[in-house]
Chains A and B, each alone.
Chain A
Amino acid sequence: MTFNNKTIDELHDLLVKKEISVTELTKATLADIQEREGALNSFVTIAEEAALAQSRALDEKGVDADNVMAGIPVAVKDNISTKGILTTAASKMLYNYEPIFNATAVENLYDQDMVIIGKTNMDEFAMGGSGETSYFAATKNAWDQTKVPGGSSSGSASAVASGQVRLSLGSDTGGSIRQPAAFSGIVGLKPTYGTVSRFGLIAFGSSLDQIGPFSQTVKENAQLLNAIASEDRKDSTSAPHRVADYTSKIGQDIKGLKIALPKEYLGEGIDPEVKETIINAAKHFEKLGATVEEVSLPHSKYGVAVYYIIASSEASSNLQRFDGIRYGYRTENFNNLDDIYVHTRSEGFGEEVKRRIMLGTFSLSSGYYDAYFKKAGQVRTLIIQDFEKVFADHDLILGPTAPSVAFDLDSLSHDPVAMYLADLLTIPVNLAGLPGISIPAGFAQGLPVGLQLIGPKYSEETIYQAAAAFEATTDYHKQQPVIFGGEK
């Protein structure tokens, strides 16, 4: 018995009518995970015991008929702290680390009676765009197991795309939710900076990181965002701005909605079939009553350079804490205290993480700070101003999520610059703190193409409204990979 083709609303109905119990739903989900895990490697930890214990307690308490999330299983990216459940950030550095507290987003899931089913694989410390830098081996794409699922939230995307679990959480620093959502043919949202607390998210780039939801459909995505968004005194960057219900505008028509299409997002380096898919999507939005107008974001081409300086600088500072003293991996090869630091870090971090620490330390070091870190921060301001100008007379920006469809495993992992350039369409959104979603928009070369909608700060309800209008009048989201019982 599987329930992986049912939406949260349908599952809620079954739970409330007691046609299934939470324990039955959890067991079915665990079976769905096991059946596909050998082919995909989506999980670092399957939290079977904890999930079943939680389910039994929920069955005893009874499912709240007014809470649509109660009893619904969810997978959580392995850089989000879960008390008593291994949280490794897919690094040797944290291979044995069991947090003694929950991330606020996780605390919110528990408050909503959601069942945490396991921790998903990822690029080590969320540094990567393919899932291949994980210490626990690469995750495979649900549609084609010779392709990458995207990254860094590789396992969260594959798990939802393949029917292992209906919902998952990821984190997005430069595209790490949207790009794997695009490569895996599902819905992924990076919320406005500050919408979801970063407390308990293992920090990478603190001015860029956001936790966000993955799902099969737009409405489910908004429902999961409802569950995790909160102002949090434990995160002083969490936003006081609150939205009562992110699903509120879903179903409303989009007549008169003003959509901007930046010419830079359809320019050089974009796969022609991806470009064509997005142009067709733009025409579809016009048919639904929106206006689509070409605009310019002139500083877009500097986004990748700005990002790699800022994200790496913040990472080099954030990752100083991993020193082998208080938790995680400690080298066995030391004679003095400095040996513990240097050997623990050299043995515990993978190649890409070391590369980012080195780049960040270099950018912040004496003699280079002005030319690199300060310059990047100034160009960041210009990128933000580009967006402000467009949003002065447009509601949303439309473009591809990624310049190509999912690429072959092991094809870019030895060329960091090529791998970094794959993030050029998602990075500017993080630099400006904006919300962005990726939804299925078609197929190219037999693989899913993602469409990205970007809005001004706190415009998630409008993003969901437009995304849902597109979804309701297309069938891309209904097509499933073979591993999920589909024909593709």
Chain B
Amino acid sequence: MKISEEEVRHVANLSKLSFSDTETTEFATTLSKIVDMVELLKEVDTAGVPITTTMADRKTVVRADLVEAATDRDDLFKNVPQAENYYIKVPAILEDGGDA
């Protein structure tokens, strides 16, 4: 199956990735080849076959609802790229920058 460049741009947008025009063209070719490989599955009769999504031997695990020490706040901020007064800094979300 041929994946179009428009489709690559759509999937890139869903994936929060951006590609140059050259990369988009390359991706369309590579993804088409990979999709051709997986198209092999079409020949398998799977009518009525259940889908497997997990290998876990149990489905739901519950724990006792107990109060425990939480992670230290300084630890939680150790890897934050930009922070101030225990807030994570990001650009303004509102279009005019917001002044509230």
List A residues at the B interface (Cβ < 8 Å): 96-98, 100-101, 193-194, 207-208, 233, 236-237, 239-241, 299, 301-302, 304-306, 308-309, 316, 320, 323-330, 334-343, 345-346, 349, 354-355, 357-359, 361-362, 365, 372, 374-382, 384, 416-417, 420, 431-433
User: Distance in Å from the Cβ of A211 to the closest Cβ of chain B?
Assistant: 15
CB under 8 Å from chain A, chain B span 44-61: 44, 46, 49-58, 60-61
Is the pair A355, B30 in contact by a Cβ cutoff of 8 Å? yes
Among all A-B residue pairs, the 8 with the closest Cβ atoms: A433-B55, A327-B79, A377-B51, A378-B46, A237-B56, A330-B81, A236-B61, A193-B55
Min C-beta distance of B90 to chain A, whole Å: 6
A-B contact count (CB 8 A): 162
Instruction: Decide: B81 and A417 in contact? CB cutoff 8 A.
Output: no
B71–A305 contact, CB under 8 A? no
**Does any Cβ of A come within 8 Å of B85's Cβ?**
no
Contact in complex: A308, B56 (CB < 8 Å): no
Can you list 22 contacts pairing A with B, beta carbon distance less than 8 Å?
A: A100-B71, A100-B78, A208-B55, A240-B58, A305-B39, A325-B88, A326-B79, A336-B92, A341-B16, A345-B15, A345-B17, A354-B15, A354-B17, A359-B31, A359-B34, A365-B14, A375-B42, A377-B52, A378-B49, A382-B49, A417-B33, A417-B34
Q: For residue A236, which residues in chain B have a CB less than 8 angstroms away from its CB?
A: 56, 58, 60-61
Question: In the complex, which residue of chain A has the Cβ closest to the Cβ of B64?
Answer: A233
Which residue on A lies nearest to B78, using beta carbons? A100
| Size class of the B contact interface (CB-based, 8 Å) | 35 or more
Measured between beta carbons, the chain B residues less than 8 angstroms from A193 are 55-56
Partner of B37, one of A330, A374, A417: A417
Instruction: Evaluate whether A358 and B44 lie within 8 angstroms (CB atoms) in the complex, with A305-B38, A378-B50, A382-B49 already known.
Output: no
CA distance A381 to B79 in the complex (A): 41
Measured in the bound complex, the distance between the Cα atoms of B23 and A375 in whole Å is 29
Q: Give the Cβ gap from B3 to chain A, nearest Cβ, in Å.
A: 8
Enumerate chain B residues within 8 angstroms of A308, measured Cβ to Cβ.
Answer: 34, 37-38
Q: Is the CB of A336 within 8 A of B91?
A: yes
**CB-CB < 8 A to B54: which residues of A?**
207, 237
Contacts of A357 in B (CB 8 A): 15, 17
The reply to whether B81 and A327 form a contact with Cβ atoms under 8 Å apart is yes
A381-B41 in contact (CB<8A) = no
Find residues 77-99 in chain B having any chain A CB closer than 8 Å to their own CB: 78-82, 88, 90-93
* Bound Cα distance A330, B41 (Å): 39
Q: B79, A98: Cβ atoms under 8 Å? A: yes
Measured CB to CB, the closest approach of chain B to A481, in angstroms, equals 34
Q: A96-B79, A305-B40 are in contact. List 5 more A-B contacts (CB 8 A).
A: A301-B40, A302-B41, A335-B91, A362-B3, A381-B51
A-chain residues with CB within 8 Å of residue B67 when the two chains form the complex:
none
In the complex, the answer to whether A379 meets B63 with C-beta atoms within 8 Å is no
Assuming A233-B61, A355-B30, A357-B17, is B51 touching A306 (CB within 8 A)?
Answer: no
Complex CA gap A40/B80 in Å reads 33
Partner of A381, one of B11, B18, B49, B56: B49
Q: Report if A337-B90 is in contact (Cβ < 8 Å); known contacts: A236-B61, A343-B18.
A: yes
Chain B residues with Cβ below 8 Å from A382 are: 44, 46, 49
Is B17 a contact partner of A342 (Cβ separation < 8 A)?
yes
Which residues of A lie under 8 Å from residue B33 when comparing CB positions?
A: 416-417
A378 to B47, CA, bound (A): 9
| B3, B7, B16, B61: most-surrounded residue (chain A CB, <10 A) | B16
CB distance from B49 to the nearest CB of A (A): 4
- A240 and B57 alpha carbons, distance in the complex (Å): 8
Asked if B52 and A416 sit within 8 Å, CB to CB, the answer is: no
Contact B81 A100 (CB under 8 A): no
Known: A240-B57, A375-B41, A375-B46. A324 touches B81 (CB 8 A): yes
**B21 within 8 Å of A (CB atoms):** no
Q: Given the known A-B contacts A240-B57, A384-B52, are A376 and B78 also in contact in the complex, defined by CB atoms under 8 Å?
A: no
Does B90 contact A378, Cβ atoms closer than 8 Å?
A: no
* Closest CB in chain A relative to B94 CB, distance in Å: 10
Residue of A nearest to B20 (CB): A346
Of chain B, the residue at the smallest CB distance from A331 is: B81
Contact residues in B for A335 (Cβ distance below 8 Å) = 91
